[in-house]
Protein backbone atom coordinates (compact mmCIF):
# COMPACT_ATOMS: atom_id res chain seq x y z
CA UNK A 1 0.00 0.00 0.00
CA UNK A 2 1.12 3.54 -0.72
CA UNK A 3 1.00 5.57 2.44
CA UNK A 4 2.48 8.63 4.14
CA UNK A 5 2.82 8.84 7.90
CA UNK A 6 3.56 11.93 9.95
CA UNK A 7 3.78 10.67 13.52
CA UNK A 8 3.57 14.04 15.26
CA UNK A 9 0.36 16.08 15.33
CA UNK A 10 2.08 18.99 17.04
CA UNK A 11 5.69 20.04 17.31
CA UNK A 12 6.47 22.95 19.59
CA UNK A 13 9.93 24.55 19.67
CA UNK A 14 11.47 27.82 20.74
CA UNK A 15 12.73 30.39 18.26
CA UNK A 16 16.29 29.57 17.22
CA UNK A 17 15.99 25.87 18.02
CA UNK A 18 16.44 23.21 15.34
CA UNK A 19 13.34 21.70 13.79
CA UNK A 20 12.74 18.25 12.35
CA UNK A 21 9.31 17.30 11.05
CA UNK A 22 9.12 13.58 10.50
CA UNK A 23 7.69 11.87 7.43
CA UNK A 24 7.77 8.18 6.59
CA UNK A 25 6.37 6.64 3.44
CA UNK A 26 5.43 3.29 2.03
CA UNK A 27 6.02 2.88 -1.69
CA UNK A 28 7.58 0.31 -3.98
CA UNK A 29 9.82 1.92 -6.55
CA UNK A 30 11.30 5.40 -6.73
CA UNK A 31 9.03 7.83 -4.86
CA UNK A 32 8.25 11.44 -5.73
CA UNK A 33 7.94 13.27 -2.41
CA UNK A 34 6.91 16.78 -1.45
CA UNK A 35 6.38 19.04 1.52
CA UNK A 36 3.41 21.39 1.48
CA UNK A 37 2.77 24.17 4.00
CA UNK A 38 -0.34 26.01 5.11
CA UNK A 39 0.22 29.25 6.99
CA UNK A 40 -2.61 30.71 9.04
CA UNK A 41 -5.41 32.04 6.82
CA UNK A 42 -3.48 31.18 3.65
CA UNK A 43 -3.94 28.45 1.11
CA UNK A 44 -1.87 25.30 0.99
CA UNK A 45 1.30 25.75 -1.07
CA UNK A 46 4.28 23.71 -2.14
CA UNK A 47 7.34 24.18 0.08
CA UNK A 48 9.79 21.85 -1.59
CA UNK A 49 10.13 18.64 -3.57
CA UNK A 50 12.86 16.07 -3.20
CA UNK A 51 13.61 15.88 -6.88
CA UNK A 52 14.99 19.43 -7.00
CA UNK A 53 17.09 19.06 -3.81
CA UNK A 54 16.48 22.71 -2.98
CA UNK A 55 16.41 24.70 0.23
CA UNK A 56 13.38 26.91 0.68
CA UNK A 57 13.09 29.39 3.57
CA UNK A 58 15.98 27.54 5.21
CA UNK A 59 14.18 24.18 5.08
CA UNK A 60 15.71 21.07 3.55
CA UNK A 61 14.51 17.50 3.21
CA UNK A 62 16.57 14.49 2.24
CA UNK A 63 15.12 11.32 0.88
CA UNK A 64 16.39 8.27 2.78
CA UNK A 65 15.30 5.21 0.85
CA UNK A 66 16.77 2.82 3.43
CA UNK A 67 14.63 4.27 6.20
CA UNK A 68 11.79 5.27 3.81
CA UNK A 69 11.84 8.74 5.28
CA UNK A 70 11.68 12.32 4.02
CA UNK A 71 12.09 14.41 7.14
CA UNK A 72 11.90 18.21 6.90
CA UNK A 73 14.65 20.09 8.74
CA UNK A 74 15.63 23.61 9.59
CA UNK A 75 18.62 24.49 11.78
CA UNK A 76 17.11 27.59 13.40
CA UNK A 77 13.35 27.98 13.67
CA UNK A 78 11.70 31.36 13.18
CA UNK A 79 8.30 32.46 14.48
CA UNK A 80 7.06 32.88 10.92
CA UNK A 81 7.64 29.16 10.36
CA UNK A 82 4.60 28.40 12.52
CA UNK A 83 2.18 26.57 10.22
CA UNK A 84 0.69 23.22 9.29
CA UNK A 85 3.09 21.04 7.29
CA UNK A 86 2.06 18.14 5.09
CA UNK A 87 4.28 15.51 3.59
CA UNK A 88 2.96 14.08 0.30
CA UNK A 89 3.76 11.23 -2.04
CA UNK A 90 2.93 11.00 -5.73
CA UNK A 91 1.34 7.61 -6.31
CA UNK A 92 2.06 5.46 -9.33
CA UNK A 93 -1.34 6.46 -10.73
CA UNK A 94 -0.54 10.17 -10.52
CA UNK A 95 -2.52 10.92 -7.35
CA UNK A 96 -1.03 12.91 -4.49
CA UNK A 97 -1.24 11.10 -1.14
CA UNK A 98 -0.93 13.32 1.93
CA UNK A 99 0.11 12.53 5.46
CA UNK A 100 -1.93 13.56 8.47
CA UNK A 101 -0.09 16.85 8.86
CA UNK A 102 2.05 18.30 11.65
CA UNK A 103 1.40 21.66 13.25
CA UNK A 104 4.66 23.47 13.95
CA UNK A 105 4.48 26.03 16.72
CA UNK A 106 7.52 28.27 17.17
CA UNK A 107 7.47 30.09 20.47
CA UNK A 108 9.26 33.41 21.02
CA UNK B 1 -4.12 35.11 -13.09
CA UNK B 2 -6.63 34.39 -10.35
CA UNK B 3 -5.22 30.87 -9.95
CA UNK B 4 -7.67 28.43 -8.34
CA UNK B 5 -10.90 29.94 -7.06
CA UNK B 6 -13.58 28.29 -4.93
CA UNK B 7 -17.09 29.36 -3.99
CA UNK B 8 -18.65 29.61 -1.51
CA UNK B 9 -16.14 30.22 1.30
CA UNK B 10 -18.57 29.07 3.97
CA UNK B 11 -21.76 27.01 3.83
CA UNK B 12 -24.16 25.52 6.34
CA UNK B 13 -26.46 22.74 5.19
CA UNK B 14 -29.14 20.67 6.82
CA UNK B 15 -28.91 16.89 6.64
CA UNK B 16 -30.33 15.67 3.35
CA UNK B 17 -29.84 18.89 1.42
CA UNK B 18 -27.78 18.93 -1.74
CA UNK B 19 -25.38 21.54 -3.02
CA UNK B 20 -22.52 22.15 -5.41
CA UNK B 21 -19.10 23.47 -4.47
CA UNK B 22 -17.61 25.42 -7.34
CA UNK B 23 -13.98 25.31 -8.43
CA UNK B 24 -12.36 27.09 -11.35
CA UNK B 25 -8.80 27.63 -12.54
CA UNK B 26 -7.41 29.91 -15.22
CA UNK B 27 -3.99 28.28 -15.68
CA UNK B 28 -5.09 25.81 -18.37
CA UNK B 29 -4.18 22.91 -16.08
CA UNK B 30 -5.25 19.43 -17.12
CA UNK B 31 -5.31 17.88 -13.63
CA UNK B 32 -7.88 18.95 -11.06
CA UNK B 33 -8.68 17.39 -7.70
CA UNK B 34 -10.94 17.71 -4.71
CA UNK B 35 -9.72 17.03 -1.18
CA UNK B 36 -11.29 17.18 2.22
CA UNK B 37 -9.30 18.24 5.26
CA UNK B 38 -10.22 16.82 8.65
CA UNK B 39 -8.31 17.09 11.95
CA UNK B 40 -5.96 14.15 12.42
CA UNK B 41 -6.79 12.79 8.96
CA UNK B 42 -4.81 15.15 6.79
CA UNK B 43 -5.99 15.75 3.25
CA UNK B 44 -7.92 12.96 1.59
CA UNK B 45 -8.62 12.80 -2.11
CA UNK B 46 -12.31 12.70 -3.03
CA UNK B 47 -12.32 12.80 -6.84
CA UNK B 48 -9.91 13.90 -9.51
CA UNK B 49 -9.82 14.60 -13.22
CA UNK B 50 -6.99 14.25 -15.73
CA UNK B 51 -8.74 16.35 -18.37
CA UNK B 52 -12.09 17.54 -19.65
CA UNK B 53 -14.57 14.68 -19.79
CA UNK B 54 -12.45 12.37 -17.62
CA UNK B 55 -12.97 11.88 -13.89
CA UNK B 56 -12.07 9.18 -11.40
CA UNK B 57 -12.57 8.35 -7.74
CA UNK B 58 -10.10 9.07 -5.01
CA UNK B 59 -9.88 7.70 -1.49
CA UNK B 60 -13.24 8.92 -0.13
CA UNK B 61 -15.69 9.34 -3.06
CA UNK B 62 -18.94 8.17 -1.43
CA UNK B 63 -21.60 10.85 -1.23
CA UNK B 64 -19.94 13.08 -3.82
CA UNK B 65 -20.23 13.48 -7.58
CA UNK B 66 -18.06 15.40 -10.02
CA UNK B 67 -18.04 16.30 -13.68
CA UNK B 68 -15.52 18.04 -15.91
CA UNK B 69 -17.17 19.55 -18.95
CA UNK B 70 -14.47 22.20 -19.43
CA UNK B 71 -10.77 22.47 -18.62
CA UNK B 72 -11.47 25.40 -16.29
CA UNK B 73 -14.25 24.08 -14.06
CA UNK B 74 -14.51 21.11 -11.71
CA UNK B 75 -17.62 21.30 -9.50
CA UNK B 76 -18.17 18.95 -6.56
CA UNK B 77 -21.74 17.91 -5.79
CA UNK B 78 -22.99 16.69 -2.45
CA UNK B 79 -26.01 14.56 -3.24
CA UNK B 80 -27.59 14.31 0.22
CA UNK B 81 -25.53 16.03 2.88
CA UNK B 82 -24.65 14.17 6.08
CA UNK B 83 -22.96 15.44 9.28
CA UNK B 84 -19.93 13.26 8.40
CA UNK B 85 -19.35 15.57 5.44
CA UNK B 86 -18.65 18.51 7.71
CA UNK B 87 -15.15 19.45 6.64
CA UNK B 88 -12.98 21.92 4.80
CA UNK B 89 -12.89 21.21 1.07
CA UNK B 90 -9.97 22.13 -1.13
CA UNK B 91 -9.80 22.14 -4.88
CA UNK B 92 -6.40 21.87 -6.57
CA UNK B 93 -5.01 21.89 -10.08
CA UNK B 94 -1.71 20.97 -11.67
CA UNK B 95 -0.26 20.95 -15.16
CA UNK B 96 0.06 17.18 -15.08
CA UNK B 97 2.87 15.16 -16.49
CA UNK B 98 6.12 14.63 -14.65
CA UNK B 99 8.82 16.53 -12.80
CA UNK B 100 7.89 20.07 -11.84
CA UNK B 101 4.43 19.57 -13.30
CA UNK B 102 3.52 17.62 -10.21
CA UNK B 103 3.12 20.82 -8.17
CA UNK B 104 -0.48 21.27 -7.14
CA UNK B 105 -2.01 24.72 -6.80
CA UNK B 106 -4.70 24.94 -4.17
CA UNK B 107 -7.79 27.05 -3.82
CA UNK B 108 -8.63 28.91 -0.58
CA UNK B 109 -11.04 26.23 0.62
CA UNK B 110 -14.73 25.95 1.45
CA UNK B 111 -15.73 25.37 5.05
CA UNK B 112 -18.88 23.23 5.10
CA UNK B 113 -20.99 22.45 8.15
CA UNK B 114 -23.82 19.94 7.98
CA UNK B 115 -26.28 20.03 10.86
Contact between A101 and B102 using a beta-carbon 8 Å cutoff: no
Q: Which of A4, A32, A45 lies closest to B102 in CB terms?
A: A32
**Does the pLDDT of residue A44 top 70, yes or no?**
yes
A92 and chain B in contact, CB less than 8 A = no
In B, minimum Cα distance to A42 occurs at: B108
Mean pLDDT of A84-101: 88
In A, minimum Cα distance to B37 occurs at: A100
**A6: which residues sit within 8 A by CB, 6+ positions away?**
A21, A22, A23, A85, A86, A87, A99, A100, A101, A102, B42
**Does the pLDDT of residue B12 top 70, yes or no?**
yes
Q: Which residue spans within A1-108 are E strands per DSSP?
A: 3-5, 10-14, 19-21, 24-26, 32-38, 45-49, 60-61, 72-74, 83-90, 96-98, 102-107
Amino acid sequence: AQRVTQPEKLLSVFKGAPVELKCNYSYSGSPELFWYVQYSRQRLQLLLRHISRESIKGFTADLNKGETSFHLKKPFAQEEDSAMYYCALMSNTGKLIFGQGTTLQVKP
Amino acid sequence: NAGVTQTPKFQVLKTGQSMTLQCAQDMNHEYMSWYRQDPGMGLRLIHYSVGAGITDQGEVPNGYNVSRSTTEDFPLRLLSAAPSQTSVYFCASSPGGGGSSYEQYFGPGTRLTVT
